[in-house]
Chain A
Amino acid sequence: MSASARVLLCTAVACIATTYSHAANEVAEEYARLALDSALNGDLSDAAILASHALRCDPGDADVQMAVGVLHWTRTAQLSASLQAAPTSSPASKAALQQYTHHAIRAVTAFKRSIAANPWDSAAADALEGVVRGVAKQGAVASSTAVHLSSILRMADYAGGPTRHARHRMPYEPHADDVRAATNADAYLPPLPVLQGPPLLDAKVLWELGYKQKAVRLLCTNDGVRVTVPEHERNISTGAMPPDLSLDLATILQVCGFVVVQGAMPVDFVRFLREKNNVSTKNNVALHATGTYCVQEYFSSFIAREAATQANIETVEHLYGYVPPLSPLNPFARPSYTEFTRREDYTVRSAGRYEYRLPLRNEFARDELLSNPWVRPGLARAMDANELVVDMLSAITSLPGSPTQHLHKDVGPLYSTDGATPWLQQNVFRRLRSVLGPPPGDPARLAAHMEHFQDAFFPDQFVNLGQTAPSPAPPPPAAVLAEQRARLANVTTVPGAKHAEYADAARFPVWHPWELTPDQYIAAMTHSEHGFWDGGHTPPPFSVAMVTPLVNMTLETGVSASPLGLLPLLLRPWPLTHTCTP
């Protein structure tokens, strides 16, 4: 019996025997992983068996649908080759086309279901786009198939972007894939340095130079994202974080986006919290009844805070003397995005997972939480701020049986209305240390969009300030400094400034508190103690500008590459990296 067959047998038993949703979900995901591996390795028969079992366990799981989709997608790729090899009028070709259509429809359906189950995971959207492109290509090759394939395209209803839900939750501009092809970031990054370790230092160098993806690859491993508090420093009142360690922590946060600080919270305090939480919750739950359902019901009523819900439970108890037995957690319950309706103090985070605000009293107003010497200094360094504000203090409780949460980000974009300043969102938490400019004659074509907050600069937007000639518009989607300029002038943006053309912002007449000569431009705007200034009645911080000579920064739109290739880069020194440390 092969390894996969053994896994199949065991997991099938587990799937059938389980009465708890989480187990079915986990088994389904295990199936899906195996099916995905098989499909990617070209073993479609195994993949089909595994995928069918995954579907039986949890058809609503995003990973399961992803595996099913990949299975059919792979089959369409195989059929596509045979379709191109055979004459379009042959019976074999017609049969292959029928199969192709069959698998393409199922692939599209599965990917759409996967996206619906987890709108945040772009892999399904990527895959769906791959199918659509394949179908479109197939239609172009054989016009006789266009009728069949156009229906698939209509079914896919895919506009090259994320799903409707994701758009609603995080309204961003075109999908990264749409702009990736236009990116020429590598063309003007400095040469890759020779890395000699340690990884953390190497990653920092790569990040600062602009090789951010490589920095992520290098540093963000299971060990690389961890910092350990020494035993002798774990006293809250006397412990302190050494500056070099806070710098390490800030670097990991900057590159990887998260860091595990081991031993940052005193164990006694943690156990105290846990015990208090358990006693409190058990007492409250006991007011209703016992059992999984009642725990869930308690949390639901606790969160809903609706008198009707509470009254209903009490009425039932009063009339019948017991709470009628109901099913445990719904095994296929998916978080509806309407459930994320913002409530005042409580909300649902996924099936069986509740978040509620904590009062700033007693055990929750302690130094361990609010001014922890192992948390606060590291965050202050990472965010480049002396003063931090606690925006949220809450507890998230997952009930037994709650399935894996959907992928998500905890906040949306800073400015819900703009796709104009994505780079700002990347730098808003840190001072901008360096600016990379594109080579002459080769405009920067960075894949800047709301989802990934790239740094992008279009200095041309500043060249024509105060002049009559309009500035050339950057190829959308793109970021532009003009928007920052208008904000920094403490003036609201002009109408249309947030549109893709940016021309209005560039023509903004009186715009800046600094006097610039025609050969200067502002290259960076996010230098300030508290990040970007977003209005208010007091003046913006003034130590934010970097005035840079215009030399070598003339851009010409519409020029895709220098006719001399890389020669201009080789013939002159590299003046385009401007360090600007306040």
Chain B
Amino acid sequence: MATHTYVHTLTFVSQPTTFIPGSHAFAPSELSTEDTVFDAEAEGSGDAQWQTVNRSPLQRRSFLYGETQEGDVILFDVRVTHRGGSNRQKGPHDWRSILYCTFTHDWFHDGRNFQPRHTSQFDAFPPYVRTAVTRIDQHDYLRQVETELANAFVDVVGMSSTYEFDTTQYADVLPLRDTAVQRAGQLLPGTLPRPALLAALRELHAKHTWHSSAQPQEGEQG
């Protein structure tokens, strides 16, 4: 599901987003096969309440304009057919923006709209291998960037979260200091100068003691 947050008032005149209702579940052509309209005044069985109308396929196309005031939000299924309206304003600064935010189940991955970053070695793989290693190459890219930053004396460990978030339980897993320290060691095998590593660990320790009562073990103070 997606949300559109409108920061401008959009009326019919100012061309709001247009939706085809029901198109998330049906093809537009299939929607157009429904040639009945509901008649609340009709008496009798359920069938009597639906009157057949004679319309051409083109006349059956039904759009709905999502007219909004500022502060309105449109929630929509990402599979619904829609289109943004034109911006009829003429001033050079009269751009029109909306905030777009999608909420999904945790297993859903939008592989269509934006491309993840990859390493330069990714290009050297043949296409079928590229498909296979898409996900792990992203991890490699991140690791390479972190290593380069660490070599440039950037506190990479301090930039990263000290929580381990369990996406199956939707909970933070604590304590995490050991994991983070281990990660720091893995990240910088022989690349980070010793003082920087110690400083990173000290900072990590200071952060950790803020949200955990667990005492550090001996030997981990560096």
Cβ–Cβ contact B34 & A213, under 8 A: yes
B182 at the interface (CB under 8 A from A): no
> Quick check: B97 and A410 within 8 Å, CB to CB?
no
Q: Is the CB of A127 within 8 A of B74?
A: no
Nearest CB of B to A369, in Å: 6
User: Which residue of B66, B69, B79, B105 contacts A453 across the interface (Cβ within 8 Å)?
Assistant: B79
Query: Contact check: which of A121, A291, A428 meets B92 at CB < 8 Å?
Result: A291
Q: Which of A98-106, A387-395, A554-562 contacts B (4 or more CB under 8 A)?
A: A387-395
For residue A220, give the distance in angstroms from its CB to the closest CB of chain B: 3
Interface Cβ pair total, 8 Å cutoff: 352
Q: Do residues B107 and A261 form an inter-chain contact, with CB atoms below 8 A?
A: no
Q: Are A405 and B84 in contact (CB under 8 A)?
A: yes
B221 at the interface (CB under 8 A from A): no
Q: B122 interface residue, CB < 8 Å from A? A: no
Q: In the complex, which of the residues B32, B70, B112 contacts A411, with contact meaning CB atoms closer than 8 Å?
A: B112
Q: Are A453 and B25 in contact (CB under 8 A)?
A: yes
B100:A177 contact, CB within 8 angstroms: no
A378 to B77: give the CA distance in the assembly, Å.
12
A217 to B98, CA, bound (A): 29
Q: B29 at interface (Cβ–Cβ under 8 A)? A: yes
B1 to chain A, nearest CB (A): 5
Find out whether the CB atom of A378 lies under 8 angstroms from the CB atom of B75. yes
Within 8 Å CB of A350, what residues of B?
Answer: 84
Q: B38 at interface (Cβ–Cβ under 8 A)?
A: yes
Contact B82 A274 (CB under 8 A): no
| Contacts A342-B115, A369-B99, A398-B95 given; does A534 touch B7 at CB 8 Å | no
Residues of B within 8 A of A572 (CB): none
Question: Is A127 in contact with B57, judged by CB distance below 8 angstroms?
Answer: yes
Contacts of A428 in B (CB 8 A): 105
A344 located at the interface, meaning its Cβ lies under 8 Å from any Cβ of chain B in the complex? yes
In the complex the two chains form, what is the Cα distance from A222 to B18 in whole Å? 11
Cβ–Cβ contact B101 & A393, under 8 A:
yes
Chain A contacts of B107 at CB under 8 A? 530-534, 536
Task: Give Cα distance in the complex from A376 to B57, angstroms.
Answer: 37
Residue contact A397 to B95, C-beta cutoff 8 Å: yes
Closest to A271 in B: B70
Interface size, A (range): 35 or more
Closest chain A CB from B194 CB (angstroms)? 33
Assess whether B123 is interfacial by the CB under 8 Å rule: no
The yes or no answer to B149 lying at the interface (CB within 8 A) is no
A257 to B78, CA, bound (A): 8
B24: interface (CB < 8 Å): yes
By a CB distance below 8 angstroms, the chain B residues around A127 are 57-58
A136 vs B109: C-alpha distance when bound (angstroms): 44
Closest 4 CB pairs of A and B: A192-B46, A220-B21, A257-B80, A258-B76
**Interface positions of A (Cβ within 8 A of B):** 20, 22-23, 25-26, 36, 40, 66, 70, 120-123, 125-127, 130, 175-177, 180, 191-195, 197, 212-214, 216-218, 220-222, 225, 249, 253, 255-267, 270-271, 273-274, 277-278, 281-282, 285, 290-292, 294-295, 342-345, 347, 349-350, 352-353, 355, 357-358, 369-370, 372, 374-376, 378-379, 382-383, 385, 387-412, 414, 425-426, 428-429, 447, 449, 451-454, 530-534, 536, 538
Sampled A-B contacts (26; CB under 8 Å): A40-B59, A130-B57, A192-B45, A213-B34, A216-B34, A253-B77, A257-B19, A257-B80, A258-B21, A259-B74, A260-B66, A262-B69, A265-B73, A270-B71, A277-B97, A281-B93, A281-B95, A291-B92, A343-B115, A383-B103, A387-B106, A394-B99, A409-B78, A410-B2, A410-B79, A411-B78
